[in-house]
């Protein structure tokens, strides 16, 4: 390899290529480029994951493929992390971002959201031996909750379950393993993914208690603020994918169960 | 032990080996880019700190403060500061760039100190001698001082680079697909923690041990040639 | 995007962070003491022990010097339970740091042993020094002079290393920083303050160790 080629490679690695001011690609530009760039986070199985061949796969990539097919363009998956997924769309490195994008009014100040893709349901993950049946059961000094740092459940727990002891780990994988190893009694968080995630601990008798009292949130595609052409098209595409049963089918394939709360589909946006 | 042997064939599948190989290369590239860049910055800082070359005191102070700051922040905290600083600056930087910058900052602070010590190991009479021969500061550095100080500079730099290779494991925190991150992903797929982390411990060893051996080899070979 | 730094929003947490800094210092101190003992034993084995034991210690030192602490702790924390050993977050981090420091401190203390000069001890014997006097006046000052600076450096490096504990849920300085970040979203502000805490911690430690070295061992060189 010559020095200049090596320098090019380095520049590419360091992301010093295009640093032009970011302006989101419109629907027209995406069609012209023949490519839809979608950000997914492969550390959140089964939403997105590395499959047998260590390629990115999962619910979101498959849905993104269905969307790209409707648009008639090639799909390019871009790996994003939890903290940087919104900057990715703001900086126009992806056209739309997934990665468990819960719609919140806070986030909607920075990016635009489409209609919901799926619901997000919450509950208690624990083992068969534990007696917990509702959230209030966790509010006791003898309960150790294992949670993931920086998630929305934590302020809720600190406010509503102040007596429980908290252990904060770095990610969901570490949380699952810590629960499996008996380092705590339970975890309160999203429960959609657990059927898939906890498969890797066949020896443990898991128990998942839904807590509808906490409420339901919805997850959408995120697009750059003001990119309404793309957002409106995505809404129509999503309507078609919902009514054709495609979203639910892909969901059940990856999450191994029907969506706990159905997304109401309406032809109006 | 038996369960490890049982899962080994599944773990060392063709695709996982490629995955680990790529992660290994990424760790190596991250270390190389970070340390290389850091060494260059460190060299400039060391020159700035040398009053034989740079007569401007504030520049020397800047170099000293820079070194004192960046060698005293833990890698993880530095990584997060760099990550958020890039975000604030609206810099369109990849996670690799964030991690490489963090490695470079760490390496530069150490190298500056280390190169300074190397330059100071050459007796000051030699600077005077070079001056009498009408050499400027930089010429004296290049033709008189540096050839004699490499022996002092290189071995500890190598040893420190090994430390930074190990530190790159912390870059897994922001999702750089290096060895530790790869192990976490394989662990998430259900392979035991023992085989995932055990394997990458060996891979890190294969990267670091030769570097350390080379460093002590250089130290032994270069040491006698010191003239004081 | 215009973003104004707002350090005001994180100042209420400075005390909480200071508590974390205190925990970090404790963690470093305990790990250092255990590592120091490990190092002393291993260095003695390397110098005076039987051959198979020496090989074992050598393998330990070489392995731990050439693999990352973070992965070592991952192994202790997540892999050991497969063999029935469940270490808590704090224990796993402490053990990992101590074993890791032990490897470095073995190397350092072996150099200390090597620095004792036979001739000096013999000279002292000729002068009629007792064994205790030889240790007190000849061996110890020598070893101390050789060992004090690298041991001090190692202690300061350990102080910085404690930040890894955050990844395992220990609420020390970095762990608390993550918590505040999750509450305030003032990420740059709070992490830069954490960085300042570490700079202050290690500067104070450097100054204190310098003073100790200067007063007790007449070492003039700076620490870290």
Structural domain includes residue C5: no
Number of domains in chain B: 1
Rounded Cα distance, A14 and A10, in Å: 6
Residue A156 CB contacts under 8 Å (≥ 6 apart), including other chains: A188, A214
A22-120+218-255: CATH number? 3.40.190.10
Structural domain includes residue C26: yes
**With 50 as the cut, is the pLDDT of residue A6 above it?**
no
Grouping H, G, I as helix, E, B as strand and the rest as coil, residue C68 is coil
Residue C71: the pLDDT is 98
Rounded Cα distance, B81 and C193, in Å: 10
Grouping H, G, I as helix, E, B as strand and the rest as coil, residue A249 is helix
Question: Which residues 130-159 in chain A show a CB within 8 A of chain C?
Answer: 149-151, 154-155
Express each pLDDT in C132-160 by its tens digit.
888 888 888 888 888 999 999 999 999 99
How much is the average pLDDT of A31-59? 93
Using a CB–CB cutoff of 8 Å, tell me whether A81 touches chain C.
no
Express each pLDDT in A236-266 by its tens digit.
999 999 999 999 999 999 999 999 999 999 8
Helix then strand then coil, in percent of chain C rounded to 5, is 85, 0, 15
Bridge pairing between strands A96-97 and A35-40:
parallel
Grouping H, G, I as helix, E, B as strand and the rest as coil, residue A52 is coil
**With 60 as the cut, is the pLDDT of residue A56 above it?**
yes
Q: How confident is the model at residue B225 (pLDDT cuts 50, 70, 90)?
A: low
Residue B228: the pLDDT is 45
- Among the partner residues A53, A81, A83, nearest to B15 by beta-carbon distance: A53
Residue B224: the pLDDT is 56
Residue C50 CB contacts under 8 Å (≥ 6 apart), including other chains: none
Express each pLDDT in A61-97 by its tens digit.
999 999 999 999 999 999 887 767 787 888 788 999 9
Q: At what angle do helices B146-167 and B193-222 cross, to 10 degrees?
A: 170
The position carrying tokens 């205790």 is C132
Number of domains in chain C: 1
Whether residue C109 contacts residue C43, with contact meaning beta carbons closer than 8 Å, is answered with yes
Residue B38: the pLDDT is 96
Residue A203 CB contacts under 8 Å (≥ 6 apart), including other chains: none
Structural domain includes residue C223: no
Whether residue A238 contacts residue A220, with contact meaning beta carbons closer than 8 Å, is answered with no
Residue % of chain C over a pLDDT of 70: 99
The position carrying tokens 């995932």 is B196
Q: How does DSSP assign B141-179, residue by residue?
A: IIIIIHHHHHHHHHHHHHHHHHHHHHHGGGGGGGT--SH
**With 70 as the cut, is the pLDDT of residue C166 above it?**
yes
Q: How confident is the model at residue C224 (pLDDT cuts 50, 70, 90)?
A: confident
Q: C-alpha distances in angstroms, B137 versus A226, B51, C168? A: 57, 9, 51
Distance from CA of B209 to the nearest CA of C (A): 6
Express each pLDDT in A133-150 by its tens digit.
999 999 999 999 999 987
**With 80 as the cut, is the pLDDT of residue C2 above it?**
no
Task: Kindly identify which residue of chain A lies nearest to residue B101, measuring between CA atoms.
Answer: A14
**With 50 as the cut, is the pLDDT of residue A13 above it?**
no
Residue C134: the pLDDT is 84
Structural domain includes residue C4: no
Range of the domain at B205: 2-225
B195 phi, psi to nearest 5 deg: -75, -40
Distance from CA of C35 to the nearest CA of A (A): 26
- Among A64-73, A225-234, C13-22, C137-146, the range scoring the smallest mean pLDDT is C137-146
Number of C-beta neighbours around residue B68 at 10 A: 16
Residue A22: the pLDDT is 56
**With 70 as the cut, is the pLDDT of residue A4 above it?**
no
Which fold, A122-214?
D-Maltodextrin-Binding Protein; domain 2 (3.40.190)
Residue A12: the pLDDT is 45
Question: Which residues 123-182 in chain B show a CB within 8 A of chain C?
Answer: 162, 166-170, 172-173, 179-180
End-to-end CA distance of chain B: 56
Distance from CA of A243 to the nearest CA of B (A): 33
Residue A10: the pLDDT is 46
Rounded Cα distance, A6 and C220, in Å: 46
Rounded Cα distance, A47 and A58, in Å: 5
**With 60 as the cut, is the pLDDT of residue B186 above it?**
yes
**With 60 as the cut, is the pLDDT of residue A18 above it?**
no
Best probe of the C interface among B193, B212, B215, B216, by most C CBs < 10 A, is B193
- Among the partner residues C86, C169, C178, nearest to A167 by beta-carbon distance: C169
Average pLDDT value over all residues in chain C: 91
pTM of the model: 0.88
Q: In 3D, which of C83, C74, C88 has the Cα closest to residue B196? A: C74
Q: In 3D, which of B35, B4, B12 has the Cα closest to residue B167? A: B35
**With 50 as the cut, is the pLDDT of residue B135 above it?**
yes
Q: How does DSSP assign A175-235, residue by residue?
A: HHHHHHTTSSSEEEEE-TTHHHHGGG-TTS-EEEEE-GGG--EEEEEEEETT-HHHHHHHH
For residue B189, give the CATH number of its domain.
1.10.3720.10
How much is the average pLDDT of A105-134? 92
Residue B214: the pLDDT is 93
Using a CB–CB cutoff of 8 Å, tell me whether B85 touches chain C.
yes
Distance from CA of B2 to the nearest CA of A (A): 17
Residue C31: the pLDDT is 97
How much is the average pLDDT of A108-122? 93
Whether residue B160 contacts residue B107, with contact meaning beta carbons closer than 8 Å, is answered with yes
Whether residue A157 contacts residue A145, with contact meaning beta carbons closer than 8 Å, is answered with yes
Whether residue C197 contacts residue C15, with contact meaning beta carbons closer than 8 Å, is answered with no
Express each pLDDT in B68-89 by its tens digit.
999 999 999 999 999 989 888 8
**With 60 as the cut, is the pLDDT of residue B177 above it?**
yes
Q: Chains A and B: how many Cβ contacts under 8 Å?
A: 68
Residue A152: the pLDDT is 81
Using a CB–CB cutoff of 8 Å, tell me whether A204 touches chain C.
no
Rounded Cα distance, A191 and A211, in Å: 10
For residue C62, give the CATH number of its domain.
1.10.3720.10
Express each pLDDT in C63-122 by its tens digit.
999 999 999 999 999 999 989 899 999 999 999 999 999 999 999 999 888 888 888 888
Range of the domain at C105: 10-217
């Amino acid at each position: 390899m010559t020095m200049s080629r090596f320098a090019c490679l380095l520049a590419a690695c360091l992301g010093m290529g295009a640093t032009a001011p970011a302006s989101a690609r419109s629907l027209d530009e995406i069609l012209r480029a023949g490519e839809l760039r979608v950000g997914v986070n492969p550390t959140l199985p089964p939403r997105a994951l590395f499959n047998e061949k260590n390629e990115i796969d999962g619910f979101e990539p498959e849905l993104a493929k269905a969307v790209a097919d409707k648009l008639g363009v090639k799909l390019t998956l871009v790996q994003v992390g939890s903290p940087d997924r919104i900057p990715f769309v703001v900086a126009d490195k992806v056209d739309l971002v997934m990665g468990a994008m819960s719609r919140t009014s806070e986030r909607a100040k920075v990016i635009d959201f489409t209609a919901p893709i799926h619901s997000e349901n919450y509950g208690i993950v624990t083992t068969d031996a534990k007696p917990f049946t509702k959230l209030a059961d966790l509010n006791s000094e003898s309960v150790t909750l294992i949670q993931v740092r920086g998630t929305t459940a934590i302020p809720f727990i600190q406010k509503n379950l102040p007596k429980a002891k908290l252990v904060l780990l770095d990610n969901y994988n570490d949380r699952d393993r810590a629960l499996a190893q008996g380092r705590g009694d339970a975890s309160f968080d999203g429960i959609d993914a657990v059927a898939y995630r906890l498969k890797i601990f066949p020896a443990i008798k898991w128990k998942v208690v839904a807590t509808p009292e906490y409420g339901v949130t919805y997850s959408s595609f995120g697009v750059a603020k003001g990119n309404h052409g793309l957002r409106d098209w995505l809404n129509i595409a999503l309507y078609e994918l919902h009514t054709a049963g495609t979203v639910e089918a892909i969901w059940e394939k990856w999450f191994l169960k029907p969506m706990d709360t159905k997304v109401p589909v309406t032809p109006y946006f | 032990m038996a369960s490890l042997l049982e899962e080994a064939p599944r773990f060392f599948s063709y695709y996982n080996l490629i995955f680990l190989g790529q992660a290994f290369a990424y760790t190596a590239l991250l270390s190389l880019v970070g340390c290389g860049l850091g060494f260059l910055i460190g060299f400039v800082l060391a020159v700035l700190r040398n009053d034989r070359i740079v007569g401007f005191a504030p520049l020397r102070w800047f170099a000293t403060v820079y070194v004192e700051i960046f060698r005293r922040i833990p890698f993880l905290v530095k990584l997060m500061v760099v990550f958020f600083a890039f975000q604030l600056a609206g810099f369109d930087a990849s996670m690799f760039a964030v991690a490489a910058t963090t490695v470079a900052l760490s390496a530069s602070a150490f190298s500056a100190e280390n190169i300074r010590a190397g330059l100071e190991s050459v007796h000051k009479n030699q600077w005077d001698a070079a001056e009498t021969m009408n050499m400027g500061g930089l010429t004296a550095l290049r033709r008189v001082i540096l050839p004699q100080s490499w022996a002092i500079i290189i071995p500890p730099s190598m040893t420190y680079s090994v430390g930074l290779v190990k530190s790159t494991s912390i870059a897994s925190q922001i999702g750089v697909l290096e060895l530790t991150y790869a192990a976490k992903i394989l662990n998430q797929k259900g392979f035991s923690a023992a085989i995932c982390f055990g394997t990458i411990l060996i891979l890190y060893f294969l990267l670091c041990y030769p570097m350390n051996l080379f460093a002590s080899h250089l130290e032994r070979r270069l040491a006698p040639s010191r003239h004081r | 995007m215009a973003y104004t730094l707002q350090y005001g929003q994180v100042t209420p947490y400075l005390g909480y962070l200071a508590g974390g800094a205190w925990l970090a210092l404790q963690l470093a101190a305990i790990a250092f003491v255990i590592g120091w003992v490990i190092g002393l034993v291993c260095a003695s084995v390397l110098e005076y022990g039987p051959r198979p034991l020496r090989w074992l210690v050598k393998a330990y030192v070489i392995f731990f010097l050439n693999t990352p602490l973070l992965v070592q702790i991952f192994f202790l924390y997540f892999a050991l339970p497969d063999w029935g050993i469940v270490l808590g977050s704090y224990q796993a981090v402490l053990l990992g740091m101590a074993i890791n420091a032990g490897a470095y401190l073995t190397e350092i203390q072996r150099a200390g042993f090597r620095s004792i000069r036979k001739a000096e001890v013999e000279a002292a014997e000729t002068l009629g020094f007792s064994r205790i006097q030889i240790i007190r006046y000849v061996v110890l000052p020598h070893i101390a002079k050789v060992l004090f600076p690298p041991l001090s450096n190692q202690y300061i490096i350990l102080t910085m290393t404690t930040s890894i504990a955050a990844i395992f849920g220990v609420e020390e300085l970095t762990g608390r920083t993550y918590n505040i970040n999750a509450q305030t979203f003032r990420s740059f502000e709070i992490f830069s303050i954490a960085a300042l805490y570490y700079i202050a911690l290690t500067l104070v430690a450097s100054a204190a160790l310098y003073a100790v070295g200067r007063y007790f061992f007449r070492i003039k060189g700076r620490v870290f």
